[in-house]
């Protein structure tokens, strides 16, 4: 049986819809305005361009999230969120919706545009400063190459023309497993390293269609991915949703996770945080680490559910135990700040280190902050600058640049040279990993 496409990498993601949902929720709860972690002024500007019906749907979800829940008997300490001063139902017209976004954008401008780094910069001037905000957005479902299919014919077809012809003949005779194996041989993302077969994404798409139509969940998942990314076919989010749904209903965990991502971001469907959580949870209950991280992010942010750090910690611990890098970083952030768990700088430092070694820029920033202030590790300004440089090279340019201004006294030329040398050595050692 051929292998299943899986996600073993994750990216930090914030969308205009997520930023807009946060703005609405904060306004309804009478809370101070602040962007969600990873949000920027560009996200606010993009939110202003959303369609009126999307704005209305997000506002309705924010109303549901901001409305106090009836308290059960003897509730756990963090189980119930009871925001003060929530108004009765509000009617949202398209014009009024854009007005809410504009109000939120103006309120956030001081944080995002005028504040030179906003809430992050404010936190850095208070001792002991928390590290850079961990990513609360779930990981993207973009899959990385999985293990090769385990059929003997597949292995032979990778390097033998007669075996490849035999596999092609079986696929042509409508053998769904042969069609799927043939597709993975031709798929530029999945083809084995040692092969004489030329990649052909258009042909791979054709064979995925044959296997998917026969009801093979793995093929349905890969067909959805092809539609999502325009691989061998024109991009089509609606068709991606159709095939992810088919695979998800069969219980395929990575398809369930991807479908949750589509519902959360409103890709090919109307944004629906309840549906997003539903599909993330189904995948997480199968032990799928990316989905465990995604469920945790929704509880941490209070997106579609009452905010509950203890529940977030529980899911993050499961994902981190599977070496999921973004979960390690965000669990470290919760340990650092004592959110849902007893504050433990040593454990935070350990988790930031594990995540940093897998190349997560936010974790590298956080590790640098630990070294800068001696939290969980002996203070070492050269190590701090080293990790800030590594994070900067990885894409965390703004926060890293701000953090480099915190050295007091400023680094000497020798210290800066040592950090630059160490960062360059790390980058060389980890190229391609």
- pLDDT at residue 253 in the model: 95
- pLDDT at residue 6 in the model: 35
If one compares 91 and 67, the residue with the highest pLDDT of the two is 67
- pLDDT at residue 195 in the model: 79
- pLDDT at residue 312 in the model: 97
Distance CA 43, CA 174 (A): 47
Q: What is the mean pLDDT of the chain?
A: 76
189: DSSP letter:
T
Which pLDDT tens digit goes with each residue over 269-301? 999 999 999 999 999 999 999 999 999 999 999
**CATH number at 152-262:** 1.25.40.10
Confidence of residue 197 (pLDDT cuts 50, 70, 90): confident
- pLDDT at residue 214 in the model: 95
The gap between the terminal CA atoms of the chain, to the nearest Å, is 28
**Residue 150 predicted with pLDDT over 60:** no
Least confidently predicted of 68-72, 129-133, 264-268: 68-72
User: What is each CA distance from 389 to 118, 145, 383, 396, in whole angstroms?
Assistant: 21, 29, 10, 9
Confidence of residue 216 (pLDDT cuts 50, 70, 90): very high
- The tokens for 70 are 């009836």
- pLDDT at residue 19 in the model: 65
Asked if 328 contacts 297 with a C-beta cutoff of 8 angstroms, the reply is: no
Rg, C-alpha atoms of the chain: 24
- pLDDT at residue 191 in the model: 75
- The tokens for 39 are 């949000």
Which pLDDT tens digit goes with each residue over 94-121? 444 444 444 444 344 333 333 333 222 2
Least confidently predicted of 25-39, 265-279, 296-310: 25-39
Give counts: helices (H), strands (E), the chain.
21, 0
Confidence of residue 201 (pLDDT cuts 50, 70, 90): very high
Of 156, 160, 182, residue with least CA distance to 169: 182
What percentage of the chain exceeds 90 in pLDDT? 52
Which pLDDT tens digit goes with each residue over 317-327? 999 999 999 99
Asked if 359 contacts 430 with a C-beta cutoff of 8 angstroms, the reply is: yes
User: What is each CA distance from 426 to 167, 377, 383, in whole angstroms?
Assistant: 44, 20, 12
Of 266, 263, 268, residue with least CA distance to 280: 263
Over range 3-17, report the average pLDDT. 40
Which pLDDT tens digit goes with each residue over 385-422? 999 999 999 988 778 888 888 888 999 999 999 999 99
Give the residue range(s) of CATH 1.25.40.10 domains in the chain: 152-262, 308-429
Least confidently predicted of 23-37, 94-108, 200-214: 94-108
Of 117, 219, 223, residue with least CA distance to 177: 219
Q: Which residues contact 126 (CB under 8 A, 6 or more apart)?
A: none
Distance CA 260, CA 178 (A): 30
Asked if 358 contacts 377 with a C-beta cutoff of 8 angstroms, the reply is: no
- The tokens for 163 are 């075996």
Is the omega angle on the peptide bond into residue 305 within 30 degrees of 0, that is, cis? Answer: no
Which pLDDT tens digit goes with each residue over 329-384? 999 999 999 999 999 999 999 999 999 999 999 999 999 999 999 999 999 999 99
Which pLDDT tens digit goes with each residue over 49-68? 666 666 766 666 666 655 54
Distance CA 287, CA 278 (A): 15
**CATH number at 308-429:** 1.25.40.10
Over range 212-229, report the average pLDDT. 94
The dihedral of CA 214, 215, 219, 224: what is its sign? positive
């Amino acid at each position: 049986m051929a292998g299943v496409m899986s996600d073993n990498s994750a990216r930090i993601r914030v969308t205009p819809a997520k930023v807009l949902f946060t703005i609405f929720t904060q306004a309804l709860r009478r809370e101070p305005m602040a962007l969600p972690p990873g949000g920027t002024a560009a996200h606010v500007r993009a939110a202003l361009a959303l369609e009126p019906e999307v704005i209305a749907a997000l506002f309705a979800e924010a109303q549901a999230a901001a409305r106090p829940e009836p308290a059960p008997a003897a509730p756990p300490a963090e189980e119930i969120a009871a925001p003060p001063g929530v108004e009765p139902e509000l009617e949202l017209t398209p014009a009024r919706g854009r007005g809410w976004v504009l109000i939120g954008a103006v309120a956030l401008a001081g944080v995002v545009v005028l504040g030179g780094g906003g809430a992050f910069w404010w936190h850095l001037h208070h001792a002991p400063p928390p590290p850079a905000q961990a990513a609360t957005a779930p990981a993207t479902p973009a899959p990385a190459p999985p293990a090769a299919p385990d059929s003997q014919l597949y292995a032979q077809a990778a390097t033998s023309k007669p075996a490849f012809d035999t596999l092609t003949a079986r696929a042509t005779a409508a053998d769904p497993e042969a069609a799927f194996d043939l597709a993975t041989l031709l798929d530029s993302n999945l083809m084995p390293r040692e092969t004489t077969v030329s990649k052909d994404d258009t042909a791979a798409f054709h064979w995925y269609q044959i296997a998917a139509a026969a009801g093979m969940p793995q093929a349905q998942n890969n067909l959805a991915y092809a539609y999502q990314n325009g691989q061998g076919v024109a991009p089509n989010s609606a068709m991606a949703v159709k095939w992810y749904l088919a695979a998800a209903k069969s219980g395929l965990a990575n398809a369930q996770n991807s479908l949750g991502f589509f519902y959360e971001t409103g890709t090919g469907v109307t944004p629906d945080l309840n549906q997003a959580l539903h599909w993330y949870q189904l995948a997480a209950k199968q032990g799928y680490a990316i989905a465990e991280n995604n469920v945790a992010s929704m509880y941490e942010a209070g997106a579609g559910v009452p905010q509950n750090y203890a529940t977030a910690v529980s899911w993050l611990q499961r994902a981190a135990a599977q070496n999921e890098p973004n979960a390690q970083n965000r669990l470290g952030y919760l340990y650092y700040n004592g959110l849902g768990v007893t504050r433990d700088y040593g454990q935070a430092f350990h988790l930031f280190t594990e995540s940093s070694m897998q190349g997560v820029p936010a974790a590298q920033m956080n590790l640098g902050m630990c070294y800068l202030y001696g939290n969980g590790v002996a203070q070492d300004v050269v190590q701090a600058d080293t990790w800030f440089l590594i994070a900067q090279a990885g894409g965390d340019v703004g926060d890293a640049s701000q953090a480099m201004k915190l050295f007091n006294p400023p680094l000497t030329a020798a210290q800066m040279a040592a950090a630059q040398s160490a960062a360059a050595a790390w980058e060389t050692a980890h190229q391609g990993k």
